Structure 1
């Protein structure tokens, strides 16, 4: 069984610190590219999902008349008053 030496412990700590800073450096370089790809993919998925929800035979929104059609009148409005 070997005992831990001071030089071995310092070597492990130094390796951990170097790996940490190397990962930080690489992440700063590649993070914008990765985030851009993720956002692009999410936007593409959202667009496809919206296309799937719209019916194929529905008229386009530009062809609608400026006023909505009047609703069918069922009866006249009666205003009730409270009697005390």
Structure 2
């Protein structure tokens, strides 16, 4: 009788959890998506510079000026001419 009672309790717990998960999943997913949306908005919603909204339309600003130390005369490697052998 105790074996039958144990099996019945295990099955009841299994199906109870299965039913609970089925009903709780939409709420859990909604909560996770809301939190992810808040983090996305916090990360991408705020401007990098607070004065970005104060500029006039069409005004251009340069934040980073690249260095002019580029030399095009660098020796890249050894060039070898190949001949076709028949």
Q: TM-score, normalised by structure 2?
A: 0.56
Unpaired runs of at least 5, structure 1: 1-6, 66-73, 75-84
Q: Does 1:41 align with 2:28?
A: no
Q: How many residues are paired up?
A: 71
How far apart in 1 are the matches of 2:31 and 2:12? 28
C-alpha RMSD of matched pairs (Å): 3.7
Structure 1 residue runs of 4 or more that deviate by more than 4 Å after TM superposition = none
Q: Does 1:24 align with 2:18?
A: yes
How far apart in 2 are the matches of 1:13 and 1:23? 15
Unpaired runs of at least 5, structure 2: 60-67, 69-86
